[in-house]
């Protein structure tokens, strides 16, 4: 599937073909392509390591977020990482490992394709080319647009739009707990993303094309129209004065308390 990526650049007008040749290192996918994409992927862990450093710097500078989405007002609002979060993370990891073990030992092929057990044949591509499951939503967006350039732009735009999220959602309230309308739209968006993933795995024909167009339109509508409008017009519930305020004790009884630092306020 990887060679698909450079060919996407051929959608750029005028210089597209030259860029593809440059990325391929030749006029077709060949050893040079393999080499450069191997080095690119070798580079990824180092980039990730750099981002981890940024994450730790940010964590020490600004502290953890919390599901309430308000800043800490003093020592009564915080608890130490150890033992509270270490033990909570141990429980979380145990649950994750349990589910992982079930997949690994009993459904090892659940996320794979039968095609992967057929020896590669350069002269014969599989009947249905489907990307890995985590690419399916973006694949659905790519195919929903009849124009090649438009499809590629929207597909990359689906990720790029996340980078301007702070300017789209200007609501002063950080947590979805105090934004009733936002909650509804959040879950609509969740369903939309799952639907895109489902549609990406279906053949591009008939009702699937129409549905993926609707889902794609909703994806961008959510970010570009709904979020800015919500932050302008939504009436939010009153915020508690601090995390330790008594009103919060009520919330704590219902829901798991203060998320483990890494969970972003919705």
Residues within the interface to another protein (CB under 8 A) = 79, 83-84, 87-88, 90-92, 94-99, 101-102, 104-106, 108-115, 117-119, 128, 130, 133, 136, 190, 194, 197-198, 200-203, 252, 256-257, 259-260, 263
What are residue 197's phi and psi, to 5 degrees?
-60, -40
Residue 64 a catalytic site member: yes
Nearer to another protein by Cβ, of 63 and 112: the residue is 112
Minimum Å gap between C-beta 16 and another protein is 30
Query: How far apart (Å, rounded) are the C-alpha atoms in residues 205 and 199?
Result: 10
How many other C-beta atoms can be found within 10 angstroms of the C-beta atom of residue 178?
Answer: 19
Cis preceding linkage at 240, omega within 30: no
How many other C-beta atoms can be found within 10 angstroms of the C-beta atom of residue 182?
Answer: 22
Minimum Å gap between C-beta 49 and another protein is 26
Nearer to another protein by Cβ, of 41 and 128: the residue is 128
Minimum Å gap between C-beta 160 and another protein is 23
Nearer to another protein by Cβ, of 110 and 164: the residue is 110
CB 215 within 8 A of CB 144: yes
Nearer to another protein by Cβ, of 23 and 196: the residue is 196
Catalytic member of 10, 64, 231, 242: 64
Catalytic member of 10, 77, 88, 242: 88
Which of 195, 141, 168 is closest to 8 using CA atoms?
A: 141
Minimum Å gap between C-beta 256 and another protein is 6
Residue 241 a catalytic site member: no
135 token code pair: 């690419």
Residue 245 a catalytic site member: no
Residue 88 a catalytic site member: yes
User: Locate tokens 């996918």: which residue?
Assistant: 29
For residue 231, give the H/E element and its range.
Answer: helix 227-233
Nearer to another protein by Cβ, of 33 and 78: the residue is 78
Query: How far apart (Å, rounded) are the C-alpha atoms in residues 217 and 225?
Result: 11
Which of 215, 208, 220, 176 is closest to 194 using CA atoms?
A: 215
Catalytic member of 17, 30, 115, 132: 132
- Packing angle of the helix pair 207-221, 136-144 (nearest 10 deg): 100
Minimum Å gap between C-beta 147 and another protein is 25
Residue 60 a catalytic site member: yes
Which residues, 6 or more positions from 35, have their beta carbon under 8 angstroms from its beta carbon?
25
Active site amino acids: 60, 64, 88-89, 132
């Amino acid at each position: 599937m990887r060679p698909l990526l450079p060919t996407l650049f051929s959608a750029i007008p005028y210089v597209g073909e030259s860029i593809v040749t440059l990325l391929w290192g030749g006029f077709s996918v060949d050893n040079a392509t393999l080499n450069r994409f191997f080095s690119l992927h070798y580079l990824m862990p180092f980039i990730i390591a750099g981002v981890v450093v940024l994450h730790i710097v940010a964590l020490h500078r600004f502290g953890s977020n919390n599901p309430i989405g308000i800043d800490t007002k003093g020592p009564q609002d915080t608890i130490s990482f150890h033992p509270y979060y270490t033990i909570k993370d141990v429980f979380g990891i145990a649950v994750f490992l349990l589910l992982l073990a079930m997949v690994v030992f009993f459904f090892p092929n659940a996320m794979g394709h039968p095609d992967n057990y057929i020896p590669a044949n350069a002269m014969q591509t599989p009947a249905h080319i489907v990307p890995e499951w985590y690419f399916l939503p973006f694949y659905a967006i790519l195919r929903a647009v009849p124009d090649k350039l438009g499809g590629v732009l929207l597909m990359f735009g689906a990720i790029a739009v996340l980078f301007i999220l702070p300017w789209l959602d200007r609501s002063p309230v950080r947590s979805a707990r105090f934004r009733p309308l936002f909650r509804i739209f959040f879950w609509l968006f969740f369903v939309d993303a799952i639907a895109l993933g489902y549609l990406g795995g279906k053949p591009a024909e008939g009702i699937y094309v129409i549905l993926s167009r609707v889902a794609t339109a909703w994806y961008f509508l959510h970010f570009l129209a709904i979020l800015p409008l919500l932050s302008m017009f939504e009436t939010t519930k009153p915020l508690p004065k601090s995390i330790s305020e008594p009103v919060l004790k009520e919330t704590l009884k219902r829901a798991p308390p203060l998320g483990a630092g890494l969970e972003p306020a919705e």
